[in-house]
Amino acid sequence: MPTETVYGLAADASNASAVAAIYAAKGRPDFNPLIAHVTDLAAAQRFVRLDARALKLAQAFWPGPLTIVAPIADPAAVCNLARAGLDTVAVRVPAHPMARAVLAAFGGAVAAPSANRSGRPSPTTYLDALTETGESVALALDGGPCIIGLESTVIALIDGPPRLLRPGGVTREQIEAVIGPLAPADDDAKRSPGRLALHYAPEAPVRLDANAAQPGEAFLAFGPAPTGERIFNLSPSANLAEAAANLFSMLRAADYTAPTAIAVAPIPDRGLGEAINDRLRRAAGYVG
Ligand code: TXA
Ligand code: MG
């Protein structure tokens, strides 16, 4: 199923055997919970308890690339396996019209992790999604390339201060404008259960903060740069939204040239740059 962020592998969130098939298709460890997707805030409130801060964020950013982790209210709506046994659930209202049509027709919550095999870059095109997990699915929907290209931001609103578990398509600055300051990035870096392993990784090693490629390397440029056979420019005009949209597909394209390594230009850490740098550090294996 296409979404505005990345392609997802979708199944009935209340059906444990359907959800088990998702974990199997991805080779995903079952301690890493899935996001439940619904059509709107009212549908979310049927199974999750959203406090005042969560409601403000939902009103500001849904439909869109924000996932809220909150206490589960109806455990049957999102099965234990989809929640990895937790008493919280991650919920998101996607903006992509095809995802919205699927959710509206289905009615219930749809569990959907990114459609990559576990540890690999998320697919942002129909073909990339088919390449990753296409052989496991009953039906694949072509919704074109994903406009945002990075996964949703995951924020936990359980008790105590809000915790940013994964930077993503909604920026820290946008969230702080609605609910006030968030804790510094380091405090939360390891809280989301799925964020522990090497992640988003192509086959080739990834070398960050590079100014140019060494012989044998592919290069992901950012801003004005020479062109060349193994040079992929995330955004010639140094636009972070464009770089986010190109990130995973260019990591793949660079990887297909079978380089000794993929060198990546420095990306500013503001706005969407926080999420881009998070994915790049994980692709490089820097985050334990
Ligand atoms: O943009 C997206 O969010 C995409 C599209 C398909 O919607 N989905 C996606 O799902 O990225 P996935 O499974 O690849 O990433 C979900 C993240 C993981 O890091 C997982 O650990 C975290 O959300 N998560 C899910 N449920 C959680 C929970 N109850 N508590 C903490 N983290 C949770
Ligand atoms: Mg994923």
Sequence-separated (6 or more) residues with CB below 8 Å from residue 184: none
Nearest CA to ligand 1 atom 21: 194
Sequence-separated (6 or more) residues with CB below 8 Å from residue 272: 150, 169, 171, 240, 241, 243, 244
The answer, yes or no, to whether any atom of ligand 1 lies below 6 A from the CB of 116, is no
Sign of the C-alpha dihedral, residues 47, 171, 233, 286?
negative
pLDDT of 287 strictly over 70 = no
Report strand pairing: 262-264 vs 206-207: parallel
Tell me how far the alpha carbon of residue 271 lies from the centroid of ligand 1, in angstroms.
20
**Alpha helices, H only, the chain:** 16-26, 41-45, 52-61, 97-106, 126-133, 172-179, 185-188, 240-256, 273-283
* CB neighbours of residue 141 within 10 Å: 16
Tell me how far the alpha carbon of residue 115 lies from the centroid of ligand 1, in angstroms.
12
- The closest-lying atom of ligand 1 relative to the alpha carbon of residue 194 is 21
Ligand nearest to the CA of 167: 1
On whether the CB atoms of residues 126 and 7 are closer than 8 A, the answer is yes
The answer, yes or no, to whether any atom of ligand 1 lies below 6 A from the CB of 170, is no
Same domain, 127 and 24: yes
Tell me how far the alpha carbon of residue 186 lies from the centroid of ligand 1, in angstroms.
19
On whether the CB atoms of residues 146 and 112 are closer than 8 A, the answer is no
pLDDT grade for 267, boundaries at 50, 70 and 90: very high
Res 60: pLDDT: 98
Mean pLDDT rounded to a whole number for the chain:
94
Res 189: pLDDT: 52
Same domain, 246 and 176: no
Has residue 6 been placed in a domain? no
pLDDT of 42 strictly over 50 = yes
Has residue 49 been placed in a domain? yes
Tell me how far the alpha carbon of residue 116 lies from the centroid of ligand 2, in angstroms.
7
Nearest CA to ligand 1 atom 20: 194
The model's pLDDT over 207-228, given as tens digits with 9 standing for 90+, comes to: 999 999 999 999 999 999 999 9
61: its two tokens: 């950013």
Average pLDDT over residues 177-193: 74
The model's pLDDT over 58-75, given as tens digits with 9 standing for 90+, comes to: 999 999 999 999 999 999
Res 132: pLDDT: 97
Range of the structural domain that residue 227 is part of: 206-283
- The closest-lying atom of ligand 1 relative to the alpha carbon of residue 150 is 1
Same domain, 145 and 240: no
239: its two tokens: 């636009």
Ligand nearest to the CA of 38: 1
Same domain, 235 and 277: yes
Has residue 196 been placed in a domain? no
pLDDT grade for 184, boundaries at 50, 70 and 90: confident
Average pLDDT over residues 180-199: 66
116: its two tokens: 């990559």
The model's pLDDT over 121-174, given as tens digits with 9 standing for 90+, comes to: 999 999 999 999 999 999 999 999 999 999 999 999 998 899 999 999 999 999
pLDDT of 37 strictly over 70 = yes
On whether the CB atoms of residues 25 and 136 are closer than 8 A, the answer is yes
Sign of the C-alpha dihedral, residues 233, 238, 242, 247?
positive
- The closest-lying atom of ligand 1 relative to the alpha carbon of residue 9 is 6
3-state SS class at 55: helix
Q: Which of 160, 191, 222 is the last residue of a domain?
A: 191
Res 155: pLDDT: 97
Tell me how far the alpha carbon of residue 228 lies from the centroid of ligand 1, in angstroms.
36
Q: What is the value of pTM for the model shown?
A: 0.95
Same domain, 159 and 249: no
E strand or H helix at 211, and its extent?
none
Res 201: pLDDT: 85
pLDDT grade for 288, boundaries at 50, 70 and 90: very low
Tell me how far the alpha carbon of residue 10 lies from the centroid of ligand 2, in angstroms.
13
Same domain, 167 and 220: no
Same domain, 155 and 270: no
The enclosing domain of 265 has a CATH number of 3.40.50.11030
Q: What is the DSSP string of 174-187?
A: HHHHHH-PPPPHHH
Average pLDDT over residues 166-185: 94
pLDDT of 114 strictly over 90 = yes
